[in-house]
A and B are shown apart, each in its own frame.
Chain A
Amino acid sequence: MAKIKGTIVVDKEQCKGCEVCTTACQFKCIGMSKEVNGKGYRYAISVNDDCTGCTNCAIVCPDGVISVYRAKIDSQ
């Protein structure tokens, strides 16, 4: 059965750690990093494999730092 899988790539130096994406994600895939970036903010990271690539997080991101990838994966 084919499954839709997604993943996100965060531009961690541009992320300001506002956490708006964490509430926008209905699968709770996004958490905040333990380390801080060059600006001193904790940045968004993907925390599990439940992402479906729905793009909700990227759409609400005020700084547009999230890129979303989506692919159909055939699982045997």
Chain B
Amino acid sequence: MMENIISPENLVYTKTKLMTDKALSYCPGCGHGVVHRMIMETVDEMGIQDKTIGIAPVGCSVLAYDFMNVDMQQAAHGRAPALGTAIKRLMPGKYVFTYQGDGDLAAIGTAETIHCCNRGEDMVMIFINNAIYGMTGGQMAPTTLEGMPSSTSPYGRDVARMGYPLRITEMVAPLAGVYNCSRHSVHTPAAVRKLKRAIRKGFEAQADKKGLTFIEVVSNCNSGWKKTPNDANKWMEENLFPYYPIGDIKIDGKMVA
């Protein structure tokens, strides 16, 4: 009986055509794939495939240009906001988004991030925070939690010597150039749908020249954390969410109280 249902008119969800057929290079259960797909679904629904330019970072998602079927440019480590600014100023009619991890956006590219947000460039910045340097082997990142072990802090992050985890989203939210600022996750269907709405809002704000939209996605790194994908998601809920609370921080230029 179930076989009768499988026909094109009953299809309710499949991978968007804006994702290429290439197999994703990410580990099983990694949140990158979902975020890629949500960006592409938004681009698809808005019908702006030929007007969208993405900036790929350095990190696991360096190969994002292989997976997203839009124009993409790869930036030097941490310099995606600077490159995005250049593209947006030379081609103001295009939709620009940057896609960066925590090592790229919150460590080496902190200056570019803050100044780009302060200038209020009309673009969308997507920030994937997994509290670790995933690609290079799980070293400590600025966003690593207090006491969280990593390959360069095997006994846990000692805040007396290594400083405190950086909440960069809260840092950029008060800047006048930032129009929308929110923190999301991709571990449950409801969270993914919220993220998609935020991306849509960001692209629309960009079209209206309102300013920059900053979207943080708290994601997992099950290989770096040495956990199975479902355990990593559970660990993320228990440990990362108290320090990086999910929700809107600034909406339509107004801080959420």
Q: Is the CB of B11 within 8 A of A69?
A: yes
Q: Which of A41, A55, A64, A70 contacts B5 (CB under 8 A)?
A: A70
Q: Does B187 lie at the interface of the complex (its beta carbon under 8 Å from any beta carbon of A)?
A: yes
- B222-241, CB under 8 A of A: which get 1 and which 0? 10000011100100000000
Minimal Cβ-Cβ distance residue in A for B24: A63
Task: Quote the shortest CB–CB distance from B234 to chain A (angstroms).
Answer: 9
Minimal Cβ-Cβ distance residue in A for B33: A62
Q: Is the CB of B11 within 8 A of A60?
A: no
Q: Does B250 lie at the interface of the complex (its beta carbon under 8 Å from any beta carbon of A)?
A: no
Residues of B within 8 Å of A36, CB to CB, are none
Task: Quote the shortest CB–CB distance from A65 to chain B (angstroms).
Answer: 7
* B4, B10, B19 interface centre (most CB from chain A within 10 Å): B10
Q: How many A-B residue pairs have CB under 8 A?
A: 98
Residues of B within 8 Å of A41, CB to CB, are 28
Q: Does A30 lie at the interface of the complex (its beta carbon under 8 Å from any beta carbon of B)?
A: no
Minimal Cβ-Cβ distance residue in A for B32: A62
Q: Is the CB of B2 within 8 A of A59?
A: no
Q: Which of A5, A20, A62 contacts B230 (CB under 8 A)?
A: A20
Q: Is the CB of B26 within 8 A of A62?
A: yes
**In the complex, which residues 78-98 of chain B have their Cβ closer than 8 Å to any Cβ of chain A?**
none
Q: Which of A17, A46, A60 contacts B187 (CB under 8 A)?
A: A60
Q: Which of B28, B37, B193, B222 contacts A64 (CB under 8 A)?
A: B37
Q: How far is the CA of A76 from the CA of B7 in the complex (A)?
A: 22
Minimal Cβ-Cβ distance residue in A for B192: A59
Task: Quote the shortest CB–CB distance from A13 to chain B (angstroms).
Answer: 9
Interface size of A as a range: 20 to 34
Q: Is the CB of B30 within 8 A of A62?
A: yes
Q: Does B12 lie at the interface of the complex (its beta carbon under 8 Å from any beta carbon of A)?
A: yes
Task: Quote the shortest CB–CB distance from B257 to chain A (angstroms).
Answer: 31
Q: Which of B7, B14, B34, B233 contacts A68 (CB under 8 A)?
A: B14
Q: Is the CB of B5 within 8 A of A6?
A: yes
Residues of B within 8 Å of A9, CB to CB, are 6
Residues of B within 8 Å of A7, CB to CB, are 2, 5-6
Residues of B within 8 Å of A6, CB to CB, are 5, 12
Q: Which of A16, A56, A64, A65 contacts B29 (CB under 8 A)?
A: A16
Minimal Cβ-Cβ distance residue in B for A17: B28
Q: Is the CB of B193 within 8 A of A59?
A: yes
- A1-45, CB under 8 A of B: which get 1 and which 0? 000011101000010111110111000000000000000010000
Task: Quote the shortest CB–CB distance from B8 to chain A (angstroms).
Answer: 9
29 A-B pairs in the complex with CB atoms less than 8 angstroms apart: A14-B23, A18-B229, A19-B228, A20-B230, A20-B233, A41-B28, A46-B2, A55-B189, A59-B13, A59-B193, A60-B188, A61-B34, A62-B26, A62-B31, A62-B33, A63-B33, A64-B15, A64-B16, A64-B19, A66-B13, A67-B13, A67-B15, A68-B12, A68-B14, A69-B6, A69-B7, A69-B10, A70-B10, A71-B4
* The 10 A-B residue pairs with the shortest CB-CB distance in the complex, in nearest-first order: A18-B29, A62-B33, A64-B15, A16-B28, A18-B28, A56-B189, A67-B14, A55-B13, A18-B229, A68-B13
